[in-house]
Amino acid sequence: MLGDKVRKSLRDLDRPLSALRPAADMVPPFHKLAVDVIWAGFRIDPDAVRPFLPDGLVLSPASIGVLGIYQAPSGYGIAPYMRGLVGVSVEGVRGSDIGEGMFVIGNIMDEPGAATMRKFYSGATVEGVARTWRDGELLHGVASVGGVDWLRATIRPGELRPALSGVDNFLGLTDAGLIKHADSTVADLADAEIVTLEITDAAPDYMRALRPVEHVFALDAVRVNSIWSEPRVVGRTASGNAASVFLALIEDTGRAAAVVRQDGTLIEANASGRVLLGPDGPKAGEPLLSGVAAEKHALCQALKMSCARKGPRVSEPIALTRPGGGHLLAYVMPLEHGEHGGDAALVLLADPRGPERRDAAQMLQLFGLTGAEARLAALVGVGHAPRGAAAELRISEHTARSTLKTVYDKLGINKQSELGHLVARLQYL
Model confidence over 32-75: pLDDT tens digits?
999 999 999 999 999 999 999 998 899 998 889 999 999 999 98
Q: Mind listing the domains of the chain with CATH numbers? A: 3-233 (2.40.400.10), 239-355 (3.30.450.20), 356-429 (1.10.10.10)
- Give the E-state strand segments of 44-118 in sequence order: 57-59, 64-76, 81-92, 100-109
Based on its alpha-carbon atoms, the radius of gyration of the chain, rounded to whole angstroms, reads 23
Helices 371-381, 397-411: crossing angle, 10 deg rounding: 90
Q: Are 423 and 369 in contact (CB under 8 A)?
A: no
Query: 137-168: string of b/e by CB count within 10 Å (b at 16+)?
Result: eebbbbbbbeeebbbbbbbebeeeeeeeeeee
Peptide bond into 112 cis (omega under 30): yes
DSSP-assigned beta bridge partners for residue 74: 33
Quote the CA–CA distance of 325 and 278 in Å, as a whole number. 11
Quote the CA–CA distance of 227 and 209 in Å, as a whole number. 29
Encoded amino acid at 373, one letter:
E
Q: Are 258 and 268 in contact (CB under 8 A)?
A: yes
Contacts of residue 66, Cβ cutoff 8 Å, sequence gap at least 6 = 39, 40, 41, 42, 85, 86, 87, 88, 89, 102
Quote the CA–CA distance of 180 and 249 in Å, as a whole number. 11
The pLDDT of residue 17? 37
Is the whole model's pTM more than 0.95, yes or no? no
The pLDDT of residue 24? 45
Instruction: Tell me which DSSP letter residue 402 carries.
Output: H
The pLDDT of residue 350? 83
Quote the CA–CA distance of 56 and 33 in Å, as a whole number. 32
Instruction: Tell me which DSSP letter residue 155 carries.
Output: E
The pLDDT of residue 69? 98
Output the CA torsion sign for 394, 397, 399, 404.
positive
Q: How far is CA 148 from CA 57, 135, 202, 391, in A?
A: 31, 22, 7, 43
3-class SS of residue 375: helix
The pLDDT of residue 120? 95
Quote the CA–CA distance of 214 and 66 in Å, as a whole number. 12
Q: Which residues does the chain have with pLDDT short of 50? A: 1-3, 5-11, 13-24, 337-338
The pLDDT of residue 245? 66
Q: Are 37 and 221 in contact (CB under 8 A)?
A: yes
Residue closest to 217 by CA, chosen among 191, 198, 196, 197: 191
The pLDDT of residue 203? 97
Output the CA torsion sign for 184, 380, 99, 171.
negative
